[in-house]
Amino acid sequence: MRKGKIYFVGIGLTPKHVTLQALEVIKRVDEVYMDSYTSLLVDDGNELAKVLGREVKYLRRTDIEDKSLRDAIKKVDEGLDVAVLVVGDPHIATTHVALINELRMRGYDVEVIPGISIFCAVMTYTGLSSYRFGKPATIVFPKGGVEYGYPYYVIKDNKERGLHTFLLLELDVEKGVFMKINDAIDILLRFEERYREGVLSLDEEAVGIARLGGKDQLICVDRLSRLREIDFGGPPHSLIILAPKLHFVEEESLKVLKSEFRERCSKAP
Amino acid sequence: MRKGKIYFVGIGLTPKHVTLQALEVIKRVDEVYMDSYTSLLVDDGNELAKVLGREVKYLRRTDIEDKSLRDAIKKVDEGLDVAVLVVGDPHIATTHVALINELRMRGYDVEVIPGISIFCAVMTYTGLSSYRFGKPATIVFPKGGVEYGYPYYVIKDNKERGLHTFLLLELDVEKGVFMKINDAIDILLRFEERYREGVLSLDEEAVGIARLGGKDQLICVDRLSRLREIDFGGPPHSLIILAPKLHFVEEESLKVLKSEFRERCSKAP
């Protein structure tokens, strides 16, 4: 029997980021699944199924982690075409790349449809330059009492090279873990206390970002000491540690952001 | 009189990358302009106006460079809402960021709509990890006999940190300048001859990319000496110089690419 085709479809950060190509694929396939745990769609509230005009079956963690996507793959074996929706871009998270490679090596016909990723959208919405971002990193909560200090050294390395650092904050939808900017700053400052390499100080300006791309997005540019006090609201949150020097166009962009979000960035939690 | 609103709308790399949000804005505004010189839409052939269901007025270099966008801004002053379409994402090119900031500081109501940028799509289509890309760079042709060796040092710096380098190649639609991968490799190897820091060799594997996201996209993974001989066809082209070590998932991704494009990557120019 002819096997079906499996599409990994990036749908961006909010349902309004869905592309014409993604929509065309979603309308055409036999079944639509959604990875609902590695990331979080902003402004969803069941808007997605409405926008797509299709029923969406939500995959749980185990469906992704054991790399079987049981139901979805079974449908493909039965000759159906299947789409697996992914928040942002399907190739940004390693989980998906590994899965996609595995399926391809097992002979499946897999197509990947790009979506708007936070790695690029963060430049659009802040106006910081794509040429001035170094390696990104993810800040996670300590596990079993052990802190994962790697992001501290990524920031150090980027700063030494005059580059910004984009930091994703831990997010686990099923476990209900959503790191806030406030937590992330506490963790970074603890790293500074421990490693003492002079990488971070409470006085430096950074950019706190909540619900990027959403109707209710909030972008605050302020000193770390101030950002730590702001109520950014619901997830997802992320943070940019700025390069020591800004390009003058970037300075202007931050000035614009400060004025645009002035009122909402002055609220304490 | 009430001024209109001006939207800078990212439309991705091909008309099929247009998002629902972009489409909604484009359908709603009074006039649609397109920056047609800083970048090149893949698979266009007037498909764009058809996809959008609107007339699109093409802006010339002078319209962008003197930062006036004469006609467009005049319309906004007259109270009309205007969209300026940009290939990829509006905030990836510094030209647009500067323009957007200037308009905002002059009191205009400007909204930026993100699009799929090549900086992210290159990860989707190659399967290389977003966490392993360092600073990107652009390779340009020598101007007045002077070569711009900066990309060589960006590659050196990224390699020393175990990171990939994404290289855009010079592209000037109005002047008809489209750097090919073959030219870019020649330029890089001349840098190596001149600076002799052991950054690049003909034997190392790299990734040549043509018309990313298009129906006719071509991605070849091979030694630089081989890539230099391949006929990649029309623009735009770009190039990835790989980190010295690959993650095993990345190795798998490159294997998949090699097999997918095997036949087309074996053609000489």
d(Cα A7, Cα B124) in Å, to the nearest integer? 13
- Per-residue model confidence (pLDDT) at position B61: 67
Q: Does CATH number 3.30.950.10 belong to domain B119-266?
A: yes
Query: Which of A69-83, B202-216, B225-239 is predicted least confidently?
Result: A69-83
Residue B93: per-residue pLDDT: 67
Nearest Cα to Cα of residue A253 among B8, B38, B29, B84: B8
Q: Do B10 and A124 touch (CB under 8 A)?
A: yes
**Contact residues on chain A for B215, CB-CB shorter than 8 A:** none
Q: Where are the domains of chain A?
A: 5-116, 119-266
Structural tokens at position B159: 């390699």
Between CA A88 and CA A14 the distance in angstroms is 8
**pLDDT given at position A269:** 53
Which of A231-240, A244-253, B100-109, B188-197 shows the lowest per-residue confidence on average (mean pLDDT)? B100-109
**Mean pLDDT, chain A, integer:** 89
- Do B51 and A20 make contact, defined as CB atoms within 8 angstroms? yes
Q: What average pLDDT does the segment A115-133 reach?
A: 89
Looking at CA atoms only, how far is residue B14 from chain A in angstroms? 10
How does DSSP assign chain A, residue by residue? ----EEEEEE-BSSGGG-BHHHHHHHHHSSEEEEE-SSS--TT-TTHHHHHHTS--EEEPHHHHHTT--HHHHHHHHTT--EEEEESB-TTTSHHHHHHHHHHHHTT-EEEEE----HHHHHHHHH---GGGB---EEE---BTTB---HHHHHHHHHHHTT-BEEEEE-EETTTTEE--HHHHHHHHHHHHHHH-SS---TTSEEEEEESTTSTT-EEEEEEHHHHTT----SSPEEEEEPPSS--HHHHHHHHHHHHHTTTGGG---
Residue indicated by tokens 């970074």: A188
Report phi then psi at A204, rounded to 5.
-80, 150
Q: Looking at the complex, does the CB of residue B67 fall below 8 Å from at least one CB of chain A? A: no
Count Cβ atoms within 10 A of the Cβ of residue A46 and give its class: 0-12 exposed, 13-18 middle, 19 or more buried.
exposed
Whether A208 contacts A196, CB under 8 Å: no
CA torsion sign for A263, A118, B245, A68 is positive
* Residue B223: alpha-carbon gap to chain centroid: 23
Encode pLDDT of A11-67 as tens digits.
999 999 999 999 999 999 999 998 876 678 887 767 788 888 888 888 776 665 555
> A-contacting residues of B 36-55, CB under 8 Å?
51
Q: Which residue has the higher pLDDT, B41 or B208?
A: B208
* pLDDT band with cut points at 50, 70 and 90 for residue B29: very high
For the ranges A105-114, A208-217, A240-249, which has the lowest average pLDDT? Answer: A105-114
| pLDDT tens readout for residues A142-173 | 988 888 999 999 999 999 999 999 999 998 88
Band of residue B98 on the pLDDT scale cut at 50, 70, 90: confident
Contact A130 B120 (CB under 8 A): no
Distance from CA of A203 to the nearest CA of B (A): 26
Task: Give how far A252 is from chain B: nearest CA, Å.
Answer: 6
Q: Which of residues 1-40 of A touch B (CB under 8 A)?
A: 10, 12, 15-21, 23-24
Q: Over chain B, what is the mean pLDDT?
A: 89
With 70 as the cut, is the pLDDT of residue B269 above it?
no
Query: Which of A217-231, A246-260, B140-154 has maximum average pLDDT?
Result: A217-231
Partners of A94 on chain B (C-beta within 8 Å) are 129, 131, 247, 249
Range with top average pLDDT, A62-76, B53-67, B231-245 = B231-245
Q: Is the pLDDT of residue B64 over 70?
A: no
Rounded Cα–Cα distance for residues B25 and B113 (Å): 9
pLDDT band at B48 (very low <50, low <70, confident <90, very high): confident
Taking residues B86-104, report their average pLDDT. Answer: 82
The stretch B86-107 carries a mean pLDDT of: 82
- What's the pLDDT score for residue B46? 72
Looking at the predicted structure, is the pLDDT value of residue A68 above 60? no
Q: What is the pLDDT of residue A158?
A: 94
Task: Please provide the CATH number assigned to the domain covering A5-116.
Answer: 3.40.1010.10
Q: Minimal Cα distance from A111: which residue of B?
A: B125
What was the pLDDT predicted at A19?
Answer: 96
What average pLDDT does range A77-105 have in this prediction? 86
Do the two domains A5-116 and A119-266 of this chain adopt the same fold? no
In chain A, the residue whose alpha carbon lies closest to the alpha carbon of B99 is A249
Between B35-49, B80-94, B161-175, the lowest mean confidence (pLDDT) is in B35-49
User: What is the average pLDDT across B25-46?
Assistant: 84
pLDDT in tens, B154-175: 999 999 999 999 999 998 887 8
Which has the minimum average pLDDT: A64-68, B59-63, B114-118, B264-268?
Answer: A64-68
Mutation pick from B123, B130, B154, B246 vs chain A, by most beta carbons of A within 10 Å, is: B130
Pairwise pLDDT comparison (A148 vs A91), residue with the higher score: A148
Residue B145 is predicted with a pLDDT of: 83
φ and ψ at A167, to 5 degrees? -115, 120
pLDDT value, residue A244: 96
